[in-house]
């Protein structure tokens, strides 16, 4: 079984910052698309009814003429999309392993801002659970597995906590660098290298500006709001767009730190990098997991990077495919 101990990047890529930047660059995104095409899979957009009028868009890929061994649901990170490089590479590995794959866009990600009036926030787990249930109804004869990166890993683990009660036949999950304690992650982003803060804030404010353009009668905030720093902007939106009332309650709402996964009913595998510059690895040392879950911490990898060589091959994508196959 492939494990974190097998990850040995080339010497020049043994930096968490280098890994984090390499993992999501456009060249790697293009390579992921080439690998997807090489599988021979057909990919189509699919709109899911996520309840309460919510619609979520995803990409369904399947190799024609082959009976899939199962359906793999992939969840991207904050301000990523179904077309992110790691999503394409992971989809390709899973298709090669015999799965069919559904890459789901969260609300307001992947140019889907027009589908729903309300703004995305990280406590919108219920619509993702309902979307997974709707997906399972479309493909009722196939076992389901799930994988996610960063915030998508957080969503995948929360989905696993709720799946059985919601009628989602989820059998196994594998996640990479999941957000455990959002408050701690926010602090690290604020006080770490400015490039990460700039990256997330630039993409997020562009997303909010797009939402304002589409629904000006609902979202009438001005440019001064969009110029707030990332903590102030989050707090401003939490107070006006959610029922939580405070940043602390909002962060607590989607935290999975400490003992919150202790009763996880679905077998789970978690891959974390000790040098992740966005999510503090210390949080993982205090994580309480059931016997059916396993945590692996790699010496290298950065934040969802895990690039192996100059060809930008990714270890995390291979690792996910291996973990999800192990449940067969």
User: Residue 109 catalytic?
Assistant: no
**Contact (Cβ atoms closer than 8 angstroms) between residue 82 and residue 112:** no
Catalytic option among 24, 81, 150, 298: 150
User: Residue 286 catalytic?
Assistant: no
Structure-block tokens of residue 200: 């997330």
Catalytic option among 108, 181, 276, 283: 276
Structure-block tokens of residue 203: 């993409």
CA angle 233, 235, 241 (to 5 degrees): 95
User: Residue 150 catalytic?
Assistant: yes
- Cα–Cα distance for residue pair 316/328, rounded to 1 Å: 20
Catalytic sites, residue numbers: 150, 276, 303
């Amino acid at each position: 079984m492939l494990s974190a101990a097998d990850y040995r990047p080339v010497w020049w890529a043994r930096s968490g910052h280098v890994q984090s930047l390499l993992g999501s660059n456009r060249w790697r995104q293009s390579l992921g698309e080439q690998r997807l095409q090489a599988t021979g899979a057909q990919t189509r957009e699919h709109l899911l009814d996520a309840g309460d009028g919510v619609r979520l868009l995803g990409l369904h890929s399947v190799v024609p003429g082959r009976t899939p061994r199962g359906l793999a649901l992939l969840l991207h990170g904050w301000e990523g999309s179904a077309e992110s490089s790691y999503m394409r590479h992971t989809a390709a590995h899973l298709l090669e392993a015999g799965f069919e794959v559904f890459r789901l866009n969260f609300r307001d990600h992947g140019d889907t801002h027009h589908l729903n009036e309300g703004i995305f926030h990280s406590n919108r787990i219920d619509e993702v659970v309902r979307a997974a249930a709707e997906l399972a109804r479309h493909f009722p004869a196939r076992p389901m597995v799930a994988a996610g990166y960063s915030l998508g890993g957080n969503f995948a683990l929360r989905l696993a906590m709720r799946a059985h009660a919601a009628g989602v036949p989820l059998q196994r999950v594998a996640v990479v660098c999941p957000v455990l304690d959002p408050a701690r992650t926010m602090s690290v982003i604020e006080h770490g290298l400015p490039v990460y803060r700039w990256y997330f804030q630039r993409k997020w404010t562009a997303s909010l500006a797009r939402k304002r353009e589409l629904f000006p009668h609902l979202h009438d905030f001005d440019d001064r709001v969009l110029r707030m720093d990332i903590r102030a902007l989050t707090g401003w939106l939490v107070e006006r767009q959610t029922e939580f009332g405070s940043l602390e309650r909002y962060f607590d709402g989607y935290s999975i730190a400490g003992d919150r996964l202790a009763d996880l009913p679905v077998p789970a595998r978690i891959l974390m990098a000790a040098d992740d510059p966005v999510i503090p690895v210390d949080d993982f040392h205090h994580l309480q997991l059931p016997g059916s879950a396993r945590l692996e911490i790699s010496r290298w990898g950065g934040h969802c990077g895990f690039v192996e060589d100059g060809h930008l091959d990714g270890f995390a994508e291979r690792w996910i495919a291996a973990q999800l196959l192990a449940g067969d």
